[in-house]
Amino acid sequence: MTGTLALVGGAEWRDGCDFDRDLLAASGGNDVLVLPTAAAYENPDKAVQTATAWFEKLGGNVRGLMVLSRPDAEEKANVDTIAASRFIYLGGGSPLHLRSVLKESKAWDALVHAWQSGAVIAGSSAGAMVLGDPMVDPRGGAYTLGLGLVEQLAVVPHHDTWPQERAHRTMQLAPRGVPIAAVDERTALIRDADGKWRAAGAGNVQVFLDGKPAGLDVLPG
């Protein structure tokens, strides 16, 4: 049985994201390991500070792990830290950079093993996008390869901020037979340890299959 998985639509670590309290409880502890990898060229330290302030309100303790480049993802100390963690959170930023750092790395293998051993994994925005496969390509809205922690699922974050035309085009470009989860900001699509999916947070989750609305029951178990 895997651990809990949370795919967050962005605007993480702020009011409305009360599902993080449930994720802490599911982890069985108070510690959260934040990987600001996707924000490597923005302000990774600020991302960790934001997470720290938010989880302190929930009784959690945050440690930032600066896996910002490919060599960082192969470093033994980082890999060991990920492997030992019970709650790992991938923050937002560039999904393409995040994918390039983690793809087929020792850090990624450690994350997958942790999840398969019961750890909670959360990803927001870019972090949510790469955890599925396929992944929406931010350069044009078509689809490319994700890391595939969950296969046959694509995540569209920030859905409540998208123009209707862009959202419609993205859904129409989706590969046939692959569910697309459109997740609002401050909202999470959560897969509990029993394999069942649910939505939580301030906004909505909409699922599309072959360009048409569908229910959570079409998501991979």
Task: Read off the pLDDT of residues 187-196 as tens digits, 9 standing for 90 and up.
Answer: 999 999 999 9
Asked if pLDDT for residue 140 goes beyond 80, the answer is: no
Q: What pLDDT is stored for residue 86 in this prediction?
A: 98
Tokens (6 digits) for 82: 């990920």
Quickly tell me which residue has 């009784």 as its tokens. Answer: 59
**What mean pLDDT do residues 173-195 have?**
96
Question: What integer is the mean pLDDT of 96-119?
Answer: 98
CA atoms within 13 A on the CB side of 140: 4
End-to-end Cα spacing for the chain: 11
**Residue 158 class from Cβ within 10 Å (0-12 exposed, 13-18 middle, 19+ buried)?**
middle
CA distance 62 to 54: 9
Predicted pLDDT of residue 221 = 81
Q: What is the CATH code for 5-218?
A: 3.40.50.880
CB-based contacts of 148, cutoff 8 Å, min separation 6: 131, 132, 133
Q: Judge if pTM exceeds 0.85.
A: yes
* CA separation for the pair 80, 95 (Å, rounded): 24
- Does pLDDT of 141 surpass 80? no
Inform me whether the pLDDT recorded for 121 exceeds 90. Answer: yes
DSSP H helix total and E strand total for the chain: 8, 15
Task: Kindly state the tokens that stand for 162.
Answer: 């998208």
| H-type alpha helices, the chain | 19-27, 44-57, 70-74, 76-84, 95-102, 106-116, 126-131, 164-173
pLDDT reading at 94 higher than 80: yes
Residue (of 3, 49, 52) closest to 28 by Cα position = 3
